[in-house]
């Protein structure tokens, strides 16, 4: 892995891994401010120790893979799997629509948490989900969507709690969607109950001392974007994250028009 790929992977994954902040009911932590620009929020952020967090997550995931523990999310270990039934239903829908030829690119997918979360079900169908420590004959890792599509012929794109942590989200989507996925599954995406906002996400020290910028999208603009890209909405659903006074979390199942 070259240095640029490693840095990009870190910048993509780490904010997602710290998303457990949603459960912290403390005025000091959570989503703070209403910034005019991403850079303004970045200037107020503290950053994070990327190598330490990645190692923590890696250790938790290795315990899951070995069977030592049942499930992890955001590096936190659970004694039972917390399924995302809506996301799983979307994957099953895509599998049915493609005759079982499910090839999934889980972009920025918190290493392979999504795969292990739904492994019991995904193992019953043909599928490939986007460090080598975890790769096997079903789980492959790539450093960009284009490589994933080229090598694995991926037809389904999963975007779970990722877009809100990218400064230029729509530019990233423009690049990813050049690959013309038949289906897009969006999960745990944050929307403002009004105009789009940029906030600072402050993480409780019990998880890790960190803060970084975060988008809360304008839902109407977000949906119009995908319509212009020739995707129709099959269904939308509430995310696993708690709704607040100013924001909601939703998932969306999209199908390429004339796919």
Question: Is residue 162 domain-resident?
Answer: yes
Rg (CA), the chain: 18
Distance CA(91)–CA(14), nearest Å, equals 24
Place 163 in a pLDDT band, splitting at 50, 70 and 90. Answer: very high
Query: Looking at the predicted structure, is the pLDDT value of residue 131 above 50?
Result: no
Q: Which domain holds residue 91?
A: 3-49+84-108+117-132+140-256
* 125 SS3 class: coil
Residue 37: count other Cβ atoms within 10 Å of its Cβ.
Answer: 11
Q: How many structural domains comprise the chain? A: 1
Which of the pair, 85 or 139, is modelled with greater confidence? 85
Query: Judging by beta carbons within 10 Å of its beta carbon (0-12, 13-18, 19+), is residue 87 exposed, middle or buried?
Result: buried
Which H helix or E strand runs over 36?
Answer: none
Question: Is residue 55 domain-resident?
Answer: no
Question: Is residue 16 domain-resident?
Answer: yes
pLDDT digit string, tens, across residues 182-236:
999 999 899 999 899 999 998 877 766 778 899 999 999 999 999 999 999 999 9
Question: Is residue 217 domain-resident?
Answer: yes
> Helices 50-66 & 3-17, crossing angle to 10 degrees?
70
Q: Judge whether 234 and 255 are in contact, CB under 8 Å.
A: yes
Question: Is residue 40 domain-resident?
Answer: yes
Range in 1-10, 76-85, 151-160, 184-193 the model is least confident about: 1-10
pLDDT, position 116: 62
Question: Is residue 62 domain-resident?
Answer: no
Place 133 in a pLDDT band, splitting at 50, 70 and 90. Answer: very low
Question: Is residue 36 domain-resident?
Answer: yes
User: Which CATH number covers residue 10?
Assistant: 3.40.50
Query: Looking at the predicted structure, is the pLDDT value of residue 132 above 70?
Result: no
Question: Is residue 171 domain-resident?
Answer: yes
Distance CA(45)–CA(42), nearest Å, equals 5
């Amino acid at each position: 892995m070259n240095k640029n790929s490693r840095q990009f992977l870190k910048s993509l994954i780490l904010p997602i891994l710290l998303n457990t902040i949603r459960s912290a009911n403390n005025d000091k932590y959570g989503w703070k401010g209403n910034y005019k620009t991403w850079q303004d929020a970045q200037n107020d952020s503290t950053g994070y120790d990327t190598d330490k967090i990645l190692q923590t997550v890696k250790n938790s995931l290795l315990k899951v893979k070995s069977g030592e523990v049942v499930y992890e999310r955001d590096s936190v270990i659970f004694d039972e799997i917390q399924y995302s039934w809506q996301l799983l239903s979307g994957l099953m829908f895509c599998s049915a629509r493609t005759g079982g030829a499910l090839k999934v690119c889980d972009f920025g997918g918190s290493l392979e948490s999504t795969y292990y979360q739904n492994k019991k079900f995904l193992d019953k169908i043909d599928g490939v989900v986007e460090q080598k420590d975890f790769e096997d004959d079903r789980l492959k890792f790539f450093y960009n969507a284009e490589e994933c599509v080229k090598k694995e012929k991926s037809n389904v794109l999963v975007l779970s709690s990722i877009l809100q942590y990218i400064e230029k989200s729509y530019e990233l989507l423009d690049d990813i969607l050049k690959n013309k996925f038949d289906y897009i599954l969006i999960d745990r995406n944050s929307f403002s109950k009004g105009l789009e906002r940029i906030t600072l996400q402050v993480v409780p020290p019990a998880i890790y001392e960190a803060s970084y910028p975060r988008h809360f999208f304008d839902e109407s603009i977000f949906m119009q974007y995908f319509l212009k890209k020739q995707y129709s909405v099959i269904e939308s659903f509430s995310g696993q994250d708690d709704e607040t006074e100013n924001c909601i979390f939703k998932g969306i199942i999209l199908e390429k028009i004339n796919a």
